[in-house]
């Protein structure tokens, strides 16, 4: 189904199905997945669905339901409704099992069949791997051996794979190969929750449903592009994970590159899943590789030191639980890159992503070239900062366009003004959570907002040499104070080109 159509609840209702969650005792299940399914039921997108949670922990059905209820009460965007809960809760089950234990899969299979019989479900199954990535391949292999994911249309068997998909190019290729030994590509849904965000999807609608932007969207009119993914959070108790990941893997390889590819891609021939993903993949394939000898010139690696964020004192990264006191892991990255294709030849894309920034903001800003002749004086024109089209992904979702305008009065004085579109005031409705959108799409078999195998490999192909160069050259991160906009080198990266970062 085409996700870019105006949908009504009824025309997006998928076939009845069982959602089987691996890693069901974990945080994601309680905070995101169960509340998402609950909201899909509240909004009548899902009518008949059962959930079977599984993981290594011993949990009874009742205890699982209790956790799920807490998850909905605490994390659902809507208010808790007792009557919906009473309809929902009896469809929740839990089955204990080891991820590598063949017998556990037989028991799981029997349980799923029992649940399907009880709820009169036709055997459609969506498996959600919300586990550590080290067991993704094992689970898929065991599902295959147990005959749980045979590639047939009816009833369907699909698998959602959480992030991260690999930690470098070699591991991503290996995981793709292991996945494809069991599953066909159209059964695999590699999740990137940024693609479930309304404003990320709106990038496509904005670009391709309006005739006025596309003619300007190229190297002839665009001076450069800035993409920012800034968070005020630190590593939030995930020091052990983050220590091995770093922000280049955690945010850039996946989320920011998805935003980049949607902003830079060519118009697809249709809004079919493969047409869209092929165009996105081509952008990633066109990224000019970074010369390992020049990695420190093009990529800034930073790490937060103690400081103050939103008025509270916070420790430095190396003082966080689970991190190495001499850690070189980056919590800030800024880079300059080029998309070497016809449309973008010579246009720099500056990306930055970081923890412990002064504010949370994700945006993409298209900086247009200045007017060809500075009719009103170079100085006045320079003060304007040029025309910038900024797509704010979060928070305060919306789009702004910066223009120069005459200040009322007898002389020609020019001041920057902003034209603004804000989601909240234009639509006045709350956007669904990313996981709601993505679960519904997977149940509908629509992979448009999921990453394809070759796409993931293309992004790792660009990222892995940076990690390798950092490793072999033992590149130390430059420290920045928590609550600042990052290390000096990041500012230098743009200053060297006569530009500066936007202050969102």
* C-alpha dihedral sign at 463, 467, 472, 475: positive
Q: How far is the CB of 502 from ligand BG6 (least distance, A)?
A: 18
Residue 259: strand, helix, or coil: helix
Number of other CB atoms surrounding residue 83 within 10 Å: 7
Residue 469: strand, helix, or coil: helix
C-alpha 73/C-alpha 84 separation (Å) is 12
| Per-residue contact string for residues 191-230; x = within reach of ligand BG6 by CB under 6 A | ----------------------------------------
Q: How far is the CB of 163 from ligand BG6 (least distance, A)?
A: 6
Nearer residue to ligand BG6 within complex by CB, 116 or 441: 441
- Binding of residue 446 to ligand BG6 (CB under 6 A): no
C-alpha 222/C-alpha 364 separation (Å) is 13
E-strand stretches of 306-413: 307-309, 312-314, 332-338, 348-354, 361-368, 388-394, 398-406
Nearer residue to ligand BG6 within complex by CB, 116 or 192: 192
Nearer residue to ligand BG6 within complex by CB, 205 or 233: 233
The residues in 463-502 that bind ligand BG6, with binding defined as CB under 6 A, are none
Q: State the SS3 of 104-150.
A: HHHHHHHHHHHHHHHCCCCCCEEEEECCCHHHHHHHHHHHHHCCCCC
C-alpha 177/C-alpha 195 separation (Å) is 24
Structure tokens at 225: 């592009």
148-165: b or e for each residue (b if 16 or more CB lie within 10 Å)?
bbeeeeebbbbbbbbbbb
Q: How far is the CB of 122 from ligand BG6 (least distance, A)?
A: 34
Q: How far is the CB of 238 from ligand BG6 (least distance, A)?
A: 7
The residues in 85-114 that bind ligand BG6, with binding defined as CB under 6 A, are none
Q: How far is the CB of 23 from ligand BG6 (least distance, A)?
A: 15
- Binding of residue 433 to ligand BG6 (CB under 6 A): no
Nearer residue to ligand BG6 within complex by CB, 248 or 366: 248
CA distances from 473 to 182, 295, 469 (A): 39, 10, 6
C-alpha 45/C-alpha 430 separation (Å) is 16
CA distances from 66 to 59, 90, 333, 410 (A): 11, 11, 41, 70
Any idea which residues carry the catalytic annotation? 255
C-alpha 68/C-alpha 158 separation (Å) is 23
Nearer residue to ligand BG6 within complex by CB, 232 or 387: 232
- Binding of residue 250 to ligand BG6 (CB under 6 A): yes
Q: How far is the CB of 241 from ligand BG6 (least distance, A)?
A: 8
| DSSP bridge partners of 479 | 303
C-alpha 273/C-alpha 283 separation (Å) is 16
Contact 130, 26 (CB under 8 A): yes
Number of residues that bind ligand BG6 (CB under 6 A): 4
Number of other CB atoms surrounding residue 9 within 10 Å: 12
- Binding of residue 231 to ligand BG6 (CB under 6 A): yes
Nearer residue to ligand BG6 within complex by CB, 250 or 363: 250
Nearer residue to ligand BG6 within complex by CB, 250 or 457: 250
Nearer residue to ligand BG6 within complex by CB, 229 or 447: 229
Distance, first Cα to last Cα, the chain = 36
- Binding of residue 330 to ligand BG6 (CB under 6 A): no
C-alpha 481/C-alpha 474 separation (Å) is 22
Residue nearest to ligand BG6 (CB): 250
Q: How far is the CB of 224 from ligand BG6 (least distance, A)?
A: 23
Q: What is the CA radius of gyration of the chain?
A: 24
Q: How far is the CB of 231 from ligand BG6 (least distance, A)?
A: 5
Q: How far is the CB of 25 from ligand BG6 (least distance, A)?
A: 19
C-alpha 156/C-alpha 147 separation (Å) is 12
Nearer residue to ligand BG6 within complex by CB, 286 or 335: 335
The residues in 346-385 that bind ligand BG6, with binding defined as CB under 6 A, are 362
* Residues lying near ligand BG6 in the complex (CB under 6 A): 231, 233, 250, 362
């Amino acid at each position: 189904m085409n996700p870019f159509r105006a949908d009504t609840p009824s025309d997006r209702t998928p076939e009845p199905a069982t959602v089987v969650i691996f890693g069901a005792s974990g945080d994601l299940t309680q905070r995101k997945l169960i509340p998402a399914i609950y909201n899909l039921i509240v909004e009548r997108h899902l009518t008949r669905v059962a959930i079977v949670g599984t993981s290594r922990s011993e949990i009874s059905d009742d205890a699982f339901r209790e956790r799920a209820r807490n998850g909905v009460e605490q994390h659902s965007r809507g208010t808790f409704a007792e009557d919906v809960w009473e309809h929902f809760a009896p469809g929740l089950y839990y089955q204990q099992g080891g991820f590598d234990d063949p017998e556990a899969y037989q028991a799981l299979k029997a349980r799923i069949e029992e649940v399907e019989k009880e709820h009169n479900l036709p055997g459609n199954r969506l498996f959600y791997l919300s586990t550590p990535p080290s067991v993704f391949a094992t689970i898929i292999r065991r599902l295959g051996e147990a005959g749980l994911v045979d590639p047939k249309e009816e009833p369907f068997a699909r698998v959602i794979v959480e992030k991260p998909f690999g930690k470098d190019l070699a591991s991503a290729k290996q995981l793709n190969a292991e996945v494809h030994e069991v599953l066909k590509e159209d059964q695999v849904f590699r999740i990137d929750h940024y693609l479930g965000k309304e404003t990320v999807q709106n990038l496509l609608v904005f670009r391709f449903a309006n005739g006025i932007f596309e003619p300007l969207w190229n190297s002839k009119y665009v001076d450069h592009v800035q993409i920012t993914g800034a968070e005020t959070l630190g590593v939030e108790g995930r020091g052990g994970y983050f220590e091995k990941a770093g922000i280049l893997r955690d945010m850039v390889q996946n989320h920011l590159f998805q935003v980049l590819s949607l902003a830079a891609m060519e118009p697809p021939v249709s809004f079919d899943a493969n047409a869209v993903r092929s165009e996105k993949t081509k952008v990633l394939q066109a990224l000019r590789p970074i010369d390992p000898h020049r990695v420190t010139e093009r990529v800034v690696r930073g790490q937060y030191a103690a400081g103050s964020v939103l008025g509270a004192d916070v420790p430095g990264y190396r003082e966080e639980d689970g991190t190495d006191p001499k850690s070189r892991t980056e919590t800030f990255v800024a880079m300059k890159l080029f998309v070497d294709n016809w449309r973008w030849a010579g246009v720099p894309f500056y990306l930055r992503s970081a923890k412990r920034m002064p504010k949370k903001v994700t945006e993409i800003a298209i900086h247009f070239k200045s007017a060809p002749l500075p009719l009103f004086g170079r100085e006045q024109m320079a003060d304007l900062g040029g025309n910038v089209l900024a797509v704010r992904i979060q928070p305060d979702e919306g789009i702004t366009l910066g223009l120069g305008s005459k200040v009322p009065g007898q002389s020609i004085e020019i001041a920057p003004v902003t034209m603004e579109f804000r989601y909240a005031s234009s639509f006045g409705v709350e956007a669904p959570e990313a996981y709601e959108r993505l679960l519904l799409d997977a149940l509908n078999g629509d992979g448009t907002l999921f990453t394809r195998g070759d796409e993931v490999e293309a992004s790792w192909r660009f990222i892995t040499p940076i990690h390798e160069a950092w490793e072999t050259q033992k590149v130390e991160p430059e420290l920045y104070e928590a609550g600042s906009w990052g290390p000096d080198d990041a500012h230098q990266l743009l200053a060297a080109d006569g530009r500066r970062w936007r202050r969102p």
